[in-house]
Each structure stands twice: as C-alpha cells, then as structure tokens.
Structure 1
Amino acid sequence: MAIQFGTYYTLIFAAVVLLVGKFLVQRIRWLREFNIPEPVAGGLVAALISWGLNATTGVQPSFDTSLQTAFMLVFFSSIGLSANFAKLREGGMGLIVFLLVVMVFIVVQNSVGVALASALGLDPLIGLIAGSITLVGGHGTAGAWGEVLENQHGIRGAITLGIACATFGLVIGGLIGGPLAKALIQRNDLRGPQGDGTHGALEAGTPNFEFPHKTRLITADATIETLALFAGCLAFAEFMTHFTAGTAVQLPTFVWALGGGVLIRNALDYVFNFEVFDRAIDVFGNAGLSIYLAIALLSLKLWELAGLAGPLVIILGVQTLVMAAYAGFITFRVMGRNYDAAVLCAGHCGFGMGATPTAVANMQAITNQYGASHKAFLIVPMVGAFFIDLVNAVAIQVFIKFFG
C-alpha cells in the first residue's frame, strides 16, 4: 500500500529530517568525528523508519519529487550566480588538473564495472549501470541512459537498476568523503587557513557554501532581487532544455540552470555594473542544497536496494573501495598533498559516487571543523556540476560502442 505525501507535507518532512540530522550530529560524537553531513544523518534515519514501516505493515511512503528537482535547480543556479569570471580565473590550472583527474577516474570506474560484470557472468553493459552512468551521473543520468539500454540494447530493468545504484551511490558518497578527508588531514598533519580546528571567519570573497552555519545578514529588498535572479536562471534552464531537446547540444536541465546563472551574474557585473548580493545567494543556495539532500534521502526505498542481485552488490562494493583508493592515492597526490587537496578528495567522493550536492555537503563538513578551502569550493562545483556531465556522456557512449 502506497501513501503519497504532497508538496507541503514533503517540505515539512524535509525540514524535520534536517533538524533531526543537526541534533544527531551535535549529540553523537562519531558523526562529528567522521564528518557525516547533517542531511545524510537525518535522511538515513528517515529511510530506516520508512523501511521499518514497509517491512511490518507493507506501507510504502512516497514523497513529491518535484520539490527535490526544484531545490536541486536552485542549488545549481546559486553556483552559477556566484561564479563571476574573476572567481573562475582563481580556479586556474587547478581546475584543469582536477578535471583531468576526474576524467581518468570515469574511465577507471567504467572499466571496473564492465570487468566485474563480465567476470560475474552479467552483460558488460550492466557494469556501466553500476559505473559512471549512475555513480558519477546520478539519478537523472540513470533514468535517461536506462531507457536507452532497455529500448536499444535489451537490458531488462535497466531503469530500476540504475535508480537503485544511483541511490546507493548518493548514500555512500556522503558517508566516505568526510572520513577519508579527515584521515588524510590527520595522517599528513595538515592545517586549514586558521590552523586551530575551529570555524574560520567569514571573509569577503569567501566562496558560497563554505560555512553554511554562519550568520548572513540580508534584507527584504536583497531577498526579492535574489528571487528574481533565481527565477531568471530557472526560466532560462526550462527554455534551453526544450529548445535543445533532440539536438547535439542537449544537456540536463541543471546544467542550463548553472550556465544561466553564470551568464546572468557576469552580465550584471560587467555590462550593467549591478552589484549582486552574494550573501543572499549564499543563503538560498545552502537552503536549496540541504532540502534537496533531505528529500532525496527521505525518498530512499531501502527495500528496493535490499532486492539488488548479489553480483550487483559486489560490483557496487568494489566501486566504493576503488573510489576511496583513487581519491586517497591519486586525487590527493596530484592536487598537491595539502589541505585543499584533502577537501577536494571529500568533494570527489561526493560526486564520484553520488552527486554534486553531496560533494558540497562533504566539503562543508570538513571546512566547518578545519577551516576554509577556497580552492576546493571554486573547483568542485564547476567540475562536478558542469564539465563532468559533458565528459561522462562521451565516456558512456564510447563504452557502449565497444561493449554494446
């Protein structure tokens, strides 16, 4: 028996999830020590409650996912609106190097998935479903490519498998990023800018999302202006999604939302000389991120994950170990073996197994404890939200061509 909760109830439950997560992280020491993001902590409790209801009564709670999509678009719009060209230049060579590191990882992830699927007697394309299609790509890519694999390559249940794998990745990405970064920081005796393990001061020019619990002073006028900017980003994203549908430049809606934010922000900065109120964008972006993650985990159906075939569980388990090892040994070393590199590893685990919002939440958990990492917060959102989808689409097509 399914129980459908509408928009308002979904928002109420999401707020409760965030409050529970905050309470748990404040009260349970190991959650703080392992830097588990608050939405992940609260979301897993909600998922366990849903699983308990389903196991004992057969009830299947279902929530309005339109809100999840809307807040995801708000989050990506806030990334674009905070990225003027001056900030993008700050990313510099580090952004290019990190993108190359991530590109290599996509090849590794898909190679592992295909090899294990073949060794376990499965269609190699199922290895792609348990590879970058779902782990780097997330739920949206899982649905899109699942339909292609079902209709064109005869992989039965590809969409269901994809959604389950993407959900697994979303949870695992939020669980391994913080502990890995913490281990790297402690093992290499690294220090953030403050060097004392406390929250850093909120300085001018600090990238959005870096200190989500800091107080931001905003006004009603700034709030209205910022809402208008977000509406412009979402309108642009909706228009471009429909306009480019079926063409060579078709991209996910959230990529257009981010791109629209970049265009609007820089047009206001350099054409109209209008000062954008970054603190308001920061508040909306953090709120969108938290609510998106809360609803995503609130909607997690553990009974569907429990039904995954044994071989697929093995593949996903190995992919988790590969992600942690790659981030710890490759990403960390290539990016400089310093504090910024450790925070970048937390972010890489987030979108390498789950989604960019998970990556940002992972990095927030680290910077809240150890201090700011401007470089990581400039690089990860841009690579994880924009470039990675383009690279991933090409990689998936190449692998399907060879193994399809």
Structure 2
Amino acid sequence: MFALDFINTVAFGGVVLFAGHGVRRALPWLARYNVPAPVVGGLVVAVVVLIARSRGVELATFDTRLQVPLMIAFFTTVGFGASVSLLKVGGPQVVFFFALSTVLAVLQNVVGVALAQPLGMHPLFGVLNGSVTLTGGPATGLAFAPQFEQAGVSGAATIAVAAAMVGIVSGGLIGGPIGTLLIERHRLRQPLRGPRLGAPPLATHIVEHQLNDAAEPSAPAGEDKESYALLKGLVVILVAMWIGSWVGARFTAMGITLPAYIGAMLVAAAIRNVDDVAGVIGLSQRVIDDIGSVSLSLFLVLALMTLQLWQLAAVALPMLVILAAQVVLVAVACWPMFRLMGADYDAAVMSGGLCGFMLGTTANAMASMETIVDRYGPAPRAYLVVPMVGAFFIDFTNALLITVCLNIWS
C-alpha cells in the first residue's frame, strides 16, 4: 500500500486530471455531455479503488488536507463574479430569469423532500438530490457533503457526485430537444446568418466581456503585467478567504450551519462591488476565473479520487426515483419559463439553457443553446442572460437555500 502525503496527493491528482482529459478525448460522448475532466479522472481512480477493495486489497491512502482550501478558493472566485454591474448590464431580463431559476431551485428541494420521506430516507437526502447537486453541480454537492454527513445522510459525497452525473447527462439530453420543440411548435425560426464553428463559448468569457475585462493589465514599472495581475488576483482571493473565515466563524457561533466557503464568497462579492465603484484594486475577472478554474479542477479530482463508491448500493433506488422526478420537473418548468420570458425565439433558447444549468452545469446550458442556434440562428439575449445567472448569481441563492434546508432538518 502506498501512503501519499498532501504534496504527493496533489501531484497524483494533477496526473489523474490530465488522464481525465485523455479519456475525454478517447471517448467523445463524455465531452458531448460536458462531463468534466476532473470528474472523469477521479471516478476512474475511485472505480479502481472499489475493485481492489472488493478483492481485499487497499491500494493507497491519500492526504487530502488541501481539498478544502481549494474548494474555498474556487467559491471565492465565484463570489468575485457577483457584480451588481452585471445585473445592470443584463437589465430586467437577467433579474427576472434569476428569480424564476431561484423558484425552480426551491421546487427541486420541495420535490426531493416530498419523495425522500415516503421512500424511507432522511429529508436532507431529498435536498442532496435536489438543488444541491442539480442546480449546484458536483462542486456544490461535494462542498456541502460534510454538513449533510453530520446531519445524518451517510455517504453524502458519493451520493452528491452520482446525482450530479445523472443530472449532467440528463440536462445534456433534454436541453436541445426542448428548445427545438418550443421553436418548432411556435414557429419561431430565425434566419441563420452563416454557420457557427467551434466549441460553444465559455460562460465565464461572456461574463468577462460584459465586465469590459479585455483591457490590458497594468503593472508598476519593471514588473511583468501578466504575472503582476496574477499575483494581485491571488492575493485578493487569499485575503477574501482570510476575512471570510472570520465571517463564517461568527455565523457558526450563532448556531447557523454553513459550508466553509460561504463567508469567503460573501466577502469576495463585497470586494468586487466596492472595487467596481472605487476602482482601487482594479480586479481582472479573467485572472480570477483562471485561478478559480485551476482550484476547481484540483478540488474535484482530489474529492473524487477518494469517493467510497460502495456506499451507493443501499441508496441507488430511492436516488434514481427522486432524480427521475427532478428531470420531469425541470422539463415541465421550461414551458412556463418560455412564456414568462417573452415566448419568443430567445426565450425558447433560454429554456433549453435552463435544462443545462438546473440539471448540471452552465457548460451544459451553453452546449444546449449552441445546438439550437447552430440550427436556427443567433440568440443574443439568451447568450447574455443564461451565463450571468447560471455561472454566478444562482450559486448565491442556491447556497442560501441549502443552508436554510440544513438548519431546518439537521
């Protein structure tokens, strides 16, 4: 048996991460359904560990003490994306879509709890198979897993990843067809203005553009501009994490159950909005997003390598029942969402995107919308609204919603 310390564990995780990219290239359907490379690589290791365990062999022990700091760093970068100026750029449509998405997240938890109890499961099992992993994705599920474990949901991390994977695949399967059905039924075809080439744009890139983040970074004389911007972004993130740990401790002292990242995310949002007005720091959202992407990838691969997949055996049936109901809920919700967002072509594209990020990730939403616009033509309003809500704002209300559920049923 190999015993890896925390440096060796992160190094091994990095190798596993790039192995995940290799598997995605070898199996194109994984990329088609937007299954992240860290998830692919980490699950491969978890499956190997499961097989070895079934034969009475323990392959390795991992020191994952850096997992939590990496998780907090990622969600801190999410906080830096929560700019009020984005809401102003997006206008009422962003606010309205955000509000409707939040209502749907609430309904996901209502459905989850309503089904969990008759199935003999803890109410929080339903929440874990609700907005935690579907609206939040695997990162949010893994971040909240310790709190769910403490509240009585055994194997919360493993359940979270399994539910998130079902959601990602389901969202990828139904998003495009639902948008297409709405367009065809209501005869909303747009004139196609030439073929669209390449992969769908990243949501973070769209948001960076809206924040006018394309300007050349500045630096003191004699300093490399890119390295200075990277250093500044890293230090600001660390400061937000530092202050956020104090904020989180104050909430805990008040008896409020919170995940470790909430304080840092709130502090980051405050810093972002103050800097938007004062311009003292001059934050680069592009740099912050890059740091967040690295943190998320390493966090996910470390968390997934150590999953105890054998814990799924006892909960597979109730989990699948709840998740099937969640897929139906989101699919049905697309119709009122379409009506409320204007019942036009962009609203149909947004409805397809809704399936993506309410059942998996914003990458799913972008891929679903890309499938639609490839066939029917551009949807500029949808490409403005969905990334803003799916990539940043919904994470805030979802975290608060999950926290409320934890404090009710713990």
Structure 2 length-normalised TM: 0.76
In structure 2, the CA distance between the partners of 1:146 and 1:249, relative to structure 1 (3 Å rule), is closer
Deviation at 1:274, TM superposition (A): 3.9
Choose 194-203 or 387-396, whichever is displaced more: 194-203
In structure 2, the CA distance between the partners of 1:203 and 1:348, relative to structure 1 (3 Å rule), is closer
Q: Is residue 113 of structure 1 aligned with residue 116 of structure 2?
A: yes
In structure 2, the CA distance between the partners of 1:243 and 1:393, relative to structure 1 (3 Å rule), is closer
In structure 2, the CA distance between the partners of 1:4 and 1:193, relative to structure 1 (3 Å rule), is farther
Q: Is residue 247 of structure 1 aligned with residue 254 of structure 2?
A: yes
Amino acid at match of 1:31: L
Q: Is residue 385 of structure 1 aligned with residue 392 of structure 2?
A: no
Distance 1:368 1:24 in 2: 24
In structure 2, the CA distance between the partners of 1:207 and 1:10, relative to structure 1 (3 Å rule), is farther
CA contact 1:37–1:365 (8 Å) conserved in 2: no
**Equivalent of 2:172 in 172, 175, 178:** 178
Distance 2:103 2:300 in 1: 27
Deviation at 1:100, TM superposition (A): 1.1
Deviation at 1:206, TM superposition (A): 1.9
Amino acid at match of 2:127: S
In structure 2, the CA distance between the partners of 1:47 and 1:161, relative to structure 1 (3 Å rule), is closer
**Equivalent of 1:132 in 127, 131, 134:** 127
Deviation at 1:378, TM superposition (A): 1.5
In structure 2, the CA distance between the partners of 1:142 and 1:31, relative to structure 1 (3 Å rule), is closer
Deviation at 1:326, TM superposition (A): 1.5
Distance 1:101 1:204 in 2: 23
In structure 2, the CA distance between the partners of 1:299 and 1:364, relative to structure 1 (3 Å rule), is farther
1:108-257 matches, cutoff 5 A: 108-117=111-120, 126-133=121-128, 135-137=130-132, 138-148=141-151, 158-185=152-179, 187=181, 196=196, 198-199=198-199, 206-207=206-207, 219-247=226-254, 251-257=258-264
1:81-101 per-position Cα deviation (integer Å, ceiling 9, x unaligned): 122211134332111111112
In structure 2, the CA distance between the partners of 1:65 and 1:275, relative to structure 1 (3 Å rule), is same
Q: Is residue 280 of structure 1 aligned with residue 287 of structure 2?
A: yes
Distance 1:304 1:317 in 2: 15
Distance 2:364 2:233 in 1: 26
Q: What are structure 1's unaligned runs of at least 5 residues?
A: 118-125, 149-157, 211-215, 351-358
How well do the aligned residues superpose, as a CA RMSD in angstroms?
3.5
Distance 1:305 1:128 in 2: 17
Structure 1 length-normalised TM: 0.77
* Identical columns (%): 20
Amino acid at match of 1:196: R
Amino acid at match of 1:76: F
* Secondary structure, aligned partner of 2:261: helix
Q: Tell me which residue corresponds to 1:120.
A: none
Q: Tell me which residue corresponds to 1:295.
A: 302
Q: Tell me which residue corresponds to 1:313.
A: 316
Distance 1:393 1:193 in 2: 45
Deviation at 1:339, TM superposition (A): 2.3
1:111-132 per-position Cα deviation (integer Å, ceiling 9, x unaligned): 0111222xxxxxxxx2414210
Q: What are structure 2's unaligned runs of at least 5 residues?
A: 133-140, 184-188, 211-215, 218-224, 342-346, 374-381
* Secondary structure, aligned partner of 2:16: helix
